[in-house]
Amino acid sequence: MIRRNFLKTGLCGVTSLLAMQTEHSLYASENESVKSPKFHLKFAPHFGMFENIAGKDPIDQLKFAADQGFTAWEDNSMKARPVKMQERIANVMQQRGMQMGVVSALRGVWNSVNFASDVKAEREKILSAIRDIVDVAKRVNTKYLTVVPGLADPKLPKSYQTANCIDLLKRCCDILEPHGLVMVLEPLNRKTDHPGVFLYGSPQAYMICKSVDHPSCQILFDIYHQQITEGNLIPNIDRCWDQIAYFQCGDNPGRNEPGTGEINYANLFQHIHKKGYQGIIGIEHGNSQPGANGERSVISAYRKIDPR
């Protein structure tokens, strides 16, 4: 009886071990052995986008993305990650030849009335956050910092709000310029996701950046948000071109991968490619399908629209 139970347990253990080895070999095959050609444009996924295939470990997700041909990455939550993890991420990206895209400069403080306001305490919170992000940016080798200029101030006429915003942005530039860092101002849509934001249109962002007139203050043109706000994407991109430093994308409606909504991303990416855009395009959207198949669909969607 004892021997029979031992043999049964032993066989179960061997079966479990073989299953673990098979799972690991599949993982290794998908993440390490199979490498795809690099994308022509610098599409930048984010943590969580490929976790069903690559696993929960952020480092494994980076390695998987590199093997799929992605040459950039972005992470709005980088400021909240432990320093040791920031360093690990930077090291792996350097080893894999990947470029870090935007990190959020104002995590935890952006969603209030601040840039548009003349309340000193709120403006000081912004300046403090900008000072704090400098070391993070250096640690992860990024140049670009996402800045959303808060909510509109219902107590002030729009022109006063705009003047307040321009003044505070200039003060932020004074902090960032010595370190070679660039704020990219992101207009958000008011109609679907962010009612009440101060900055919502690309013409508005262009006017503010021209008024600040500083290399540390440029535009993050999020194609998803601007399709909802104003449409007319290619003409607006052309008009803002000298102030655009960064793009993000997501289809509309749904805010998922290209091909799931109404935006003609093949034409749009071909247009900016022909204009000579060499920067990063953040993949700031969800996956339209769940699980590993959904993650493969995202990769396939970008293969289809990557300019040749």
Which residues are identified as catalytic?
Answer: 186, 284
With contact defined as beta carbons under 8 Å apart, do 184 and 146 qualify?
A: yes
Distance between CA 40 and CA 206 in Å, rounded? 27
175 closest CA partner among 105, 275, 246, 78: 105
Structure tokens at 151: 């909510």
Start-to-end C-alpha separation, the chain = 68
Distance between CA 291 and CA 283 in Å, rounded? 18
Handedness of CA 235, 236, 241, 244 (dihedral sign): negative
Question: Facing residues of 222 across strands?
Answer: 248
Return phi, psi of residue 198, to 5°. -75, -45
